[in-house]
Amino acid sequence: MGTLANYKRSKYLFRRYEGNPILTPAEWPYPANAVFNPAATEIAGETLLLVRVEDMRGFSHLTVARSKDGKTNWRIDPTPMVGPNSHVQEERWGIEDPRIVLLEEEQEYAITYVSFSKGGPLVSLMMTKDFHTFARLGPLLPPEDKDASLFPRRFKGRFALIHRPIIRGEAHIWISFSPDLKHWGDHQVLIPVRRGWWDCHRVGLGAQPIETKEGWLIIYHGVRQTASSSVYRVGLALLDLDEPWKMIRRSEEWVFGPKESYERVGDVPGVTFPSGAIVDKETDELRLYYGAADTSVGLAIADMGELIEYVRSCPTPQSTERESEE
């Protein structure tokens, strides 16, 4: 089991930005029910959020918001960047929850997102260089699948995809591989749910994988269902840098969860849903963008050095997994 020192540290790793929530439907340039679960990246020296916007039919599309410091003065595009492709059944009920990585070799942004089809949610991919024009590469794997991101580079020549299929009612985080971004295989469980723990019912990737010298930092959501609702909290894991199919550390405790009124009150109460992160190289600050109660966008800030020190002090996953099997 973890130490008391770790429990105390986990509580203070992230602080909420004082201007939270940073984006709400009230200031959106056109009618929107909810703005939440944004992907985050950097372009032309600015922070770009690709925000999920839910309209009054309950269908979602994606719209760009930009800011110089990633905290204030957001400039929101007056129209969506991309909506569901009306020509394909896979996007019948909208597109949701994007994640962005800049592919290093290709120098193109890869946007993985959820297409909401009649057959259930599934993961699709689009590529862009400028967030104006884009190419749709279509669905990657069949439903039910969500919470996906590529890594910015290949491993032994292959792309790697983190995603969260639901199989036999079980919702673990998986990793799969592809030589061409089209054909996927070698599927394996990467981060399983932990029976009895705060992340016992579902886990899913949060922000895109963050590269550090110590390994890939994974910020994920974990769900516990209660008699009346589900609580979405945030945990950390570390993957091997060269062999990311190996998880080397996993936090026992959650490091962030619903507390403020905008996280507890909204369309879906009790949800903090991390979906994008940026590391400021000058200050070594990590800015974590998250959906709050499926209604607005929140920002939480942590020191990268502290995050890495904490996650490295967490137990190896084998010990917690063994315990959750007992």
Binding interface with ligand BMA (CB under 6 A): 37, 96-97, 232, 268, 271, 273, 291, 294
In the complex, least distance from residue 275 CB atom to ligand BMA, rounded to whole angstroms: 8
In the complex, least distance from residue 78 CB atom to ligand BMA, rounded to whole angstroms: 24
Q: How far is CA 171 from CA 66, 175, 205, in A?
A: 33, 13, 11
Token digits for 285? 């600050």
In the complex, least distance from residue 250 CB atom to ligand BMA, rounded to whole angstroms: 21
Q: How far apart are the first and last CA of the chain?
A: 14
The type of residue at 8 is K
Q: Other CB atoms closer than 10 Å to residue 197's CB: what's the count?
A: 18
The residue among 189 and 268 lying less far from ligand BMA, judged by its C-beta, is: 268
Closest to 30 in 3D by CA, of 76, 73, 91: 76
Token digits for 286? 């990590």
In the complex, least distance from residue 68 CB atom to ligand BMA, rounded to whole angstroms: 28
The residue among 215 and 274 lying less far from ligand BMA, judged by its C-beta, is: 274
For ligand BMA, the nearest residue by Cβ is: 268
The residue among 125 and 271 lying less far from ligand BMA, judged by its C-beta, is: 271
Tell me the C-alpha distance between 199 and 233, whole Å: 8
The residue among 137 and 268 lying less far from ligand BMA, judged by its C-beta, is: 268
The residue among 41 and 60 lying less far from ligand BMA, judged by its C-beta, is: 60
The residue among 110 and 231 lying less far from ligand BMA, judged by its C-beta, is: 231
Tell me the C-alpha distance between 29 and 41, whole Å: 22
In the complex, least distance from residue 315 CB atom to ligand BMA, rounded to whole angstroms: 27
Within the chain, residue ranges assigned H as helices are 4-12, 261-264, 304-312, 317-325
The residue among 97 and 199 lying less far from ligand BMA, judged by its C-beta, is: 97
In the complex, least distance from residue 120 CB atom to ligand BMA, rounded to whole angstroms: 11
CA torsion through residues 236, 241, 246, 248, sign? negative
Q: What backbone torsions phi and psi does residue 295 show, to the nearest 5 degrees?
A: -135, -40
DSSP state string for 125-182:
EEEESSSSSEEEEEESSPSSEEEEEE-SS-BTTBEEEEEEE-BTTB--EEEEEESSSS
In the complex, least distance from residue 132 CB atom to ligand BMA, rounded to whole angstroms: 25
